[in-house]
Structure 1
Amino acid sequence: MLFRLSITHIGEYRTLMNRRIPCLIALFVTALFGSLALADTYRVPDLEKEIFDTEAVELDRFDRSGAVSSLVSVARDFDEEDDVDYELRAHALAIASRLDEDNDKVKSTLDQLKDNGETIGESADKSRVTRRLASAVRALSRKKDNEDNLKCAAYIADIGIRLDPKGDNADKLEKSRDELEEDGHKADWKDMLGRAIQHSRNPWEEEETVFEKKEVEMPGGKGERFAQPQSRVNGLVVRQLGNGNLAGSASTVNATALKEADVDELLFTFNQEVGPMMGGCLEEVIKFLRIRYDSEPEKIPSGYKIELGFQDKYVPKDGPSAATAFTLLLDSLFSGEELDDDFACTGDMTADGRVQRIGGAAAKIRGATKRGCKIVGIPLDNGKEIGDVLLLDGIDQLLDIQIFTLETFDEAYAVSRKEKSPEVVETLQLFNDVASVVRDGDESLLANAEVQSRLQKVVDRMPNHLSAKLLLEKGKGENPKILTVGGTINQIEITTSGTLRTIGRAVFSSKMSEDDDGDSFEFDKETTNDAKTAVEELEKLSKAIDPRLEKYHEAVLKVCKSVAEGPDDDEKAKAYGKRLEEELDSVQSTYRKMISDPEILEDMGG
C-alpha cells in the first residue's frame, strides 16, 4: 500500500525539472503528489529465523501439501487491490518455505516478489483459501504433544484471519488462534522481514528516497507519567492499487509511550524506517508541542520512549501530510483527551501550528467515506478541491461526512476530540438533521428555504464547516461548475497512472532492447481493459475540466486510446511502439508547458 500526499511547492518542482527526469510518472508523483512512498516496496522474509523446528513438525504429505499450496496462494494470488498487503504475503511465504523449502511455487513466488514486487497469480477465492488454511490448522493441532506443530498452527491461523477477517472461516480460525494462545502459542512476526526492496514505479528515476530510523528528542518536564499511554487517529491517504492506479483510503496511526531506563528526556520515534520529509515533519510537530506545553511542565514526564506506529508498518513512508495527525495524536498523550474514532484528517503542519496544503484531497475524502469516517479535517488551502467531489460524485459524500477546513491546530483540536464542546456537538447534530432530511428526499431539497436557513446556521456557528458551505452553494446554484486545476490533474493521475506506467516501461524496454522487431507493445488483456476504463473516465471529465488543461487532457486521452484500441491494421510492433513513444512525449511536453504557467502554479498552491 502506497501513501501519497502533495508537495506542490515550486522549489521542489524546479529541483525535479533540473534533474530532467524524462518520465511522466515520476513528474506526476514527485511534483504533484510527493508521496509517503515513492516506490512499490516488498520485504523479503527471513527464512533463517527460528520460530519453530521445521524438522519436528509432524504433518502427513497430503496435509503438508495443502498447507503450502494455500500459503503460496496468499502470497501469489492476492495483492493490494484485494486488500492483501506485502507484509501478509511475505509472512505467508515465510511459513510456506519452512514447511517445504524446495517447493517450486514457493521459490518462484519469492523470486517474483523480490525482482519486481509483483506475481503472476491465478484466480483465487479468499473463502476457499482460508478454508484450506483452517484445515491445516486443525491437522497441526491434532498433535497436542508436539510444540512445534502448535507453534506452526498459530502462525497459519493468524495468516488466515488477516487474509479474510470477516469471511466464512474467520470464526473457526479465531477460535483456533485463541485456544493456541491460551496454551502459550502465539504468532510472533517481530523481525521476520528484512529490509525493504524498493521497486520503482518509474524505471527512469535517477535516485530513490532514502528510508532510515528517525528519532527526535524533547526535553522532559515535571510530570510523573503521560495522561494516557496510548492514542490513535485516522489519517487520510492515497494508496496504489494492484493495477497501478490510485485510490483514497484512511489508515490508523497510533502512539504508544513506554517508560525506558536508558531514556533521560523524551524520545520520539517510529516503528519503522521513514523518509526525510516524514522525519522532518515530526521535528516540526515536536517544536509545536514544546511551545504548547511550555507553561505546563507538570504535564510533561521524563524517561519515556514514544513510538508512532502505522496500520501497515511494512510499507516505507515519506511525506509531510501526516503532520496534523501526529500533532493531534501526541497532544492527546499529554492532555489525556481521547480522539474521536470517527474522525480523520490530513495536512502538513508548521511549528507555529499552521495546517498546510496537501494533495489528492478529493480522493482522500472518498477513502474516508469507504472507511466510515463521519468527521474529516483537511487544510484550508485544499478547500476548493472538495468542490470537485461535489462535481464528480454528487452530494452524497457531503451529506455523509462533515468536512472541515483547518487553518490552525486549534481548529483541528475542536473537531477531533471524543469529548467536544457543547457548541460543536450542537452544530454537528444540526447538520446531521439537515442531511437526514435531504438524504430521505432528493437533491432539490437543498433549495428549500428551511434547509437553506439551517445550513446557513451551521456555517454561521462554524465558518469552517465545508460540507454545509458547499451544500448551501449547491442549493443556490452557486457551486463551482468546473474542476480545480489540482483536482483535474489529480483525477487524471488517479485514473491513468497504471496505464501510463505500463506504456512508459514498454517504451523504455523497447529502447533498451536490441531487437527492433520485438513484440514489446503487445499489451495483455488486463492492461487493455485498464486503458479502456481510463478512456471512459477521461471522456467523462472532458466537460468539467479547467479550459487551460484541455490540451493536456487531450494528450493523455490520445495515448490511453492507443493502448485501449491497440495497433492499427497492419501496423507493426515497431511502428506501434514508435507512435506510443511520440504520444507519451507529447503528454510530457504538454504537461511541462502547462505547469510552467504561473497562474496554474498559483492555483495549485505552488
Structure 2
Amino acid sequence: MSLFVISAEAPAQTTSDTVYCNVSTTIPVGRYESAQPIYFFSGPILNNSPRGLFPQPLEVSMSESTEVNGVSLTICHTNFRARNVVFKGGTIDVSVGGRASFEDCVFDGVTFMMSSGLPANQSPNSTEPRDRFRAHLELKNSVLNKAQFQVKGGPDTVMGLKMENCTMYGPGSMLPMLLSRPGLLANLKAAQTEVKNCAFIQCSYSSPFLAITQQCSFDSCTLVPGLPLAEITTVPLQIPADFHPIETADQITAQLPQYTIVPLDPAVPTGSKLGHSFAKGEVSLNQLPSVLPMKPLASVLPAPSNTTLSTNMPPRMPTTGPTFTTPISTNAVTSPTLGAPDTGLKLNQTNVHGLLIMSLGSGEAGSASKMAAIALKGYSTDAPTVRFNQPVGAMMAKALQEVTKFTQVNQGGWPAGYQIELSFADKYSNKDGPSAAVACALLLHSLITGKELDQAFAVTGDMNADGSVQPIGGVAAKIRGATKGHCKIIGIPIKNESSLGDLLLSDGPGPFASIQIYSLQHFRDAEALATADKPAATQAAIEEMSRVQEVLLRNPGQMGNWLRNQHVISKLQQVLQDSPNNLSAKYLLMYASGKVPQTLTLAGSLSAIDDAAGDLLAAIKSNQSQSNAFDTIGKASVGSSITRMQALRTRCDARVRPYADAIISFGTAVKEAQDRPPQSVSRAAELRSKINIAASSANSTYARIINDPVIREELEK
C-alpha cells in the first residue's frame, strides 16, 4: 500500500455512477477510457448494488491490440482474459471468485488489488470452497512498469498470484508485501501462488515474497526490512535467483540467514520475451501506435441482465437560481452561512492524492492514495450533505467538520440539494486521523470552482476552519511512500518540517531528489500547488527544480558529487529564492553544504526505535516476555533487531538512548536463552527472570521518558 494496506475484507462499495456488467462478453478491439468504475460480477444487481451469486462465473475477454486508459476494473466471480492488451494507469481489483489471466500485456502505472485466496473460514484442504471463491491473478510474458500490488484481507490473507516470464520495472514498483505467519508458504501453495522466470528491476520486495520466487533475477532491487518469514527458522530455504550487484545476495543472506541463494544457470532466461522498449521511465510495445479513437468502455458493454437499476435519487429539478443552506458533515452539523456563489457546483467529480499511513508489525508505511469526490444533484430544497462513503473514525469526522466550515466561509455559502460523497481508492481498511483534511478541502474547492487538480500532486495535513494547516504524524513514512508512486509534488504542514531532517539523516538526499516537497502554512499554499493551472511563478519554480532533479537522478550513485557542483548549487539557491517553501531545494542545499543533522529529533528517535526493534518491542509491549519470549520470537528476528538497534542508538536523541539500551538488553537476554537453551527447570526459571527484569526495565525507561513534562511538551508541539 504503497506499501499497501493489508486490511479486513469487506464488500465492494458502490456508487450510483458505477458501471455494472453481469453478462458474459468479448470486448472488441479499441482504445477505451472510463471515469466510472467498471464492475464485472456474476450475480443479480438490485438497487445499484451486487446481490448474491449466479451458479456460473461470468466469462469476459478483451480482444487483442486493445488499449485501456485509466480504468478502474473490479473482477468478481468472473473469468477475465486479456492478451496483447496495453493498460495505462487505473486499477485491476481481482475480488472474491475472480480469476484474471493476462498474457503478452503491458501494464504502465497500474495498481493490482487482490483478495484473499481462500475464504477465512475454509480449510486449505477443502477444495470445493477454494475453487468457488478463490481470487487468482495470472500474469504471463508481460511487462510491468511502476506497478503496485495491494493485498486485501486480514492477517490470515492468502493471495492467489502466478507470474511467469514477466519483466517489472521501477523505481516506484512494489511487489506484494505479505505479513509473515506460520503456515504461510503452505497456504500460498494451496492458492496456486508461484513466481518464476521473472526479471525485476529497481523494485521493492519483502522476504516472504522472495521465498515464493523461482529462477528470478533482481537488478538494483530493495529488500523491505522487518517482514521475516516466521515459518522458516531452522531449515534453510534454497532460492534460485540472480542479484545485481552480486553483493546484494550476500547482504540478503546476512539479513536472512535462513535463506540460501543459489545462482542461476546463465542459460536460464528470465523476464518477458514481449518486444518492448523502456526509456525515460515509460514502457511501450515495439509496434505502430493505434489510430483508433478513444471512447468510453461502458459504451461497448452489454446492459445488465435481469436487474433493477435504481439510483434512489430524485430527478434533477430546474430552479430559478441556486439556494444555499448548511452542509452536514459526517457526525456533525455546522451553522448556516449567508451568501452564495453565482452558480452551483461546476464539477460533478474530481480527485486528488492524499498521503496516508498504515501500521505494520514492523513499523509504519506510507503511500499516496487517490481520493475522490462525487456530487449528486437532488431537489433544490434538499439539505446538502458531505460524507465519506465508508465508516471513519472520530478524528477524521471532526476534520471534515472543520473543512466544511472553511469551505462555506471561503466560498460564501453552499449550493443546496447536492449530496457530496468522499471516497478513498482503498475502501477496505479503517480510516481515522485528521491527515486527509487538506485533501478533502481541495476536493470540495475543485467541485465548487471548477478548477481541475494536478494528478501528480499529493498532500497530507490537518486543517482548521480558518484555513491554517496543522501538523500530523508519520511524515517521513508518507514521503517515502510518495516517492514510490507517480506523484512528483507533495505538500506537508510547515510544522512538520523538522521530520525532514530525520529523513535526510536516515535516507540521504535521494527522497529530496526524487520528489518536490513543499511546506504548507495555509490552504492557499496547497491550492497554488494542487491546481492543474498553477500560478506562473509557482509553475516556473517547479519546472526549474525538475531540471535539477533530472540531473541528480541520471546517476544516483554520483548524486553527492553533483550536489557539490557549483552550477547545481546556484540553481537550487535560485529555486529556493523563487519558492521559499520548496523544502527539497532547502534540504539538498543543506546536504551540499555538509549541514546534515547528526542525530534524529526526539519524535524521530522514538519512531525509528519502533521500526528497528521489531518483534522485540512487540514482545515487551504484549508481555510475552513474562512467559516464553525465547520460544515465541524467531532467532533470526532477535539477532537482526539487536543489530538494527545497535546501529540506530548513536543517531538517537541522547534523551532516548537509555530506552534503546534497555531494548538491546532485553534482546540480549532473549538471545542468550535461544543460543543456550535451558537444560533444567531451574535454569529456565533463571532465564525467564532475567528476561522479565529486562522487559520491565524497558517499560519503565519508556514511561520515564514519555512522562517527562519537557519531553511531552516537545512531542506535542
**Residues 257-296 of structure 1 aligned to structure 2 (within 5 Å):** 257-261=375-379, 264-294=382-412
* Distance in 2 separating the partners of 1:117 and 1:497: 13
* Distance in 2 separating the partners of 1:435 and 1:498: 38
Name 2:116's counterpart in structure 1.
89
* Distance in 2 separating the partners of 1:58 and 1:41: 26
* Distance in 1 separating the partners of 2:12 and 2:375: 29
**Residues 453, 531 of structure 2: 8 Å contact kept:** yes
What is the DSSP-based 3-state SS (H/G/I as helix, E as strand, rest coil) of the residue aligned with 1:547?
coil
Q: 1:96 to 1:263 in 2, by over 3 A?
A: farther
* TM-score using structure 1 length: 0.66
**Residues 522, 573 of structure 1: 8 Å contact kept:** no
2:506 maps to 1:392:
yes
Name 2:184's counterpart in structure 1.
121
2:584 maps to 1:584:
no
* Distance in 2 separating the partners of 1:523 and 1:181: 56
Aligned counterpart in structure 1 of residue 647 of structure 2, from 516, 520, 540: 540
What is the DSSP-based 3-state SS (H/G/I as helix, E as strand, rest coil) of the residue aligned with 1:533?
helix
Q: RMSD of the alignment, in Å? A: 4.8
Aligned counterpart in structure 1 of residue 454 of structure 2, from 340, 345, 348: 340
2:522 maps to 1:408:
yes
Q: 1:328 to 1:601 in 2, by over 3 A?
A: same
**Residues 625, 691 of structure 2: 8 Å contact kept:** no
Q: Deviations over 1:351-392 (max 9, x none)?
A: 111111111211111111112321111111111111111111
Give 1:249 shift. Answer: 1.7
Give 1:563 shift. Answer: 4.7
Name 2:658's counterpart in structure 1.
551
Name 1:434's counterpart in structure 2.
548
Aligned counterpart in structure 1 of residue 603 of structure 2, from 479, 482, 486: 486
**Residues 451-530 of structure 1 aligned to structure 2 (within 5 Å):** 451-505=568-622, 507=624, 510=627, 521-523=630-632, 525=634, 528-530=635-637
Aligned counterpart in structure 2 of residue 371 of structure 1, from 485, 508, 512: 485
* Distance in 1 separating the partners of 2:523 and 2:183: 46
What is the DSSP-based 3-state SS (H/G/I as helix, E as strand, rest coil) of the residue aligned with 1:438?
helix
* Distance in 2 separating the partners of 1:574 and 1:180: 72
Give 1:281 shift. Answer: 0.5
* Distance in 1 separating the partners of 2:388 and 2:302: 32
**Residues 42, 117 of structure 1: 8 Å contact kept:** no
**Residues 244, 499 of structure 1: 8 Å contact kept:** no
Letter in structure 1 aligned against 2:484: K
Give 1:183 shift. Answer: 4.1
* Distance in 2 separating the partners of 1:569 and 1:522: 12
**Residues 614, 641 of structure 2: 8 Å contact kept:** no
* Distance in 1 separating the partners of 2:608 and 2:154: 34
What is the DSSP-based 3-state SS (H/G/I as helix, E as strand, rest coil) of the residue aligned with 1:353?
coil
Letter in structure 2 aligned against 1:533: S
Give 1:51 shift. Answer: 2.0
Give 1:521 shift. Answer: 4.7
What is the DSSP-based 3-state SS (H/G/I as helix, E as strand, rest coil) of the residue aligned with 1:252?
strand
Give 1:258 shift. Answer: 0.7
Letter in structure 2 aligned against 1:481: Q
Letter in structure 2 aligned against 1:478: K
**Residues 217, 268 of structure 1: 8 Å contact kept:** no
Aligned counterpart in structure 2 of residue 357 of structure 1, from 455, 459, 471: 471
Q: Deviations over 1:237-260 (max 9, x none)?
A: 22234x453222222211111113
* Distance in 2 separating the partners of 1:552 and 1:100: 52
Aligned counterpart in structure 2 of residue 248 of structure 1, from 366, 390, 402: 366
**Residues 355, 379 of structure 1: 8 Å contact kept:** yes
**Residues 267, 305 of structure 1: 8 Å contact kept:** yes
Q: 1:364 to 1:579 in 2, by over 3 A?
A: farther
Name 1:182's counterpart in structure 2.
301
**Residues 216, 268 of structure 1: 8 Å contact kept:** no
Q: 1:217 to 1:589 in 2, by over 3 A?
A: same
What is the DSSP-based 3-state SS (H/G/I as helix, E as strand, rest coil) of the residue aligned with 1:452?
helix
Letter in structure 1 aligned against 2:443: L
**Residues 362, 611 of structure 2: 8 Å contact kept:** no
What is the DSSP-based 3-state SS (H/G/I as helix, E as strand, rest coil) of the residue aligned with 1:301?
coil
**Residues 554-573 of structure 1 aligned to structure 2 (within 5 Å):** 554-563=661-670, 566-567=673-674, 569-571=676-678
* Distance in 2 separating the partners of 1:427 and 1:336: 25
Letter in structure 2 aligned against 1:555: A
* Distance in 1 separating the partners of 2:572 and 2:436: 30
2:346 maps to 1:227:
yes
Give 1:437 shift. Answer: 2.9
What is the DSSP-based 3-state SS (H/G/I as helix, E as strand, rest coil) of the residue aligned with 2:116?
helix
**Residues 491, 517 of structure 2: 8 Å contact kept:** yes
**Residues 209-220 of structure 1 aligned to structure 2 (within 5 Å):** 214=331
Aligned residues: 474
Structure 1 or 2: larger strand share? 2
**Residues 94-105 of structure 1 aligned to structure 2 (within 5 Å):** 100=128
Give 1:537 shift. Answer: 2.6
* Distance in 1 separating the partners of 2:428 and 2:581: 36
Give 1:292 shift. Answer: 0.4
Letter in structure 1 aligned against 2:492: I
* Distance in 2 separating the partners of 1:261 and 1:89: 42
* Distance in 1 separating the partners of 2:458 and 2:156: 33
Aligned counterpart in structure 2 of residue 319 of structure 1, from 424, 429, 433: 433
Letter in structure 2 aligned against 1:281: A
Letter in structure 2 aligned against 1:603: E
Q: 1:292 to 1:488 in 2, by over 3 A?
A: same
Structure 1 or 2: larger helix share? 1
Give 1:504 shift. Answer: 3.9
* Distance in 2 separating the partners of 1:497 and 1:275: 27
Q: 1:549 to 1:236 in 2, by over 3 A?
A: same
**Residues 438, 463 of structure 2: 8 Å contact kept:** yes
* Distance in 1 separating the partners of 2:483 and 2:582: 17
* Distance in 1 separating the partners of 2:508 and 2:154: 45
Q: 1:112 to 1:543 in 2, by over 3 A?
A: closer
Name 2:256's counterpart in structure 1.
none
Letter in structure 2 aligned against 1:541: L
* Distance in 2 separating the partners of 1:407 and 1:90: 45
Q: Deviations over 1:391-442 (max 9, x none)?
A: 1111111111111111111111111111111111111121122223333443
Letter in structure 1 aligned against 2:185: E
Identity %: 31
Name 1:593's counterpart in structure 2.
704
Letter in structure 2 aligned against 1:496: A
Give 1:580 shift. Answer: 3.5
Q: 1:458 to 1:524 in 2, by over 3 A?
A: same
* Distance in 2 separating the partners of 1:361 and 1:283: 23
* Distance in 2 separating the partners of 1:446 and 1:432: 15
Give 1:227 shift. Answer: 1.2
**Residues 625, 692 of structure 2: 8 Å contact kept:** no
What is the DSSP-based 3-state SS (H/G/I as helix, E as strand, rest coil) of the residue aligned with 1:378?
strand
**Residues 235, 344 of structure 1: 8 Å contact kept:** yes
2:566 maps to 1:446:
no
**Residues 42, 113 of structure 1: 8 Å contact kept:** no
Aligned counterpart in structure 2 of residue 236 of structure 1, from 355, 373, 394: 355
**Residues 430, 458 of structure 1: 8 Å contact kept:** yes
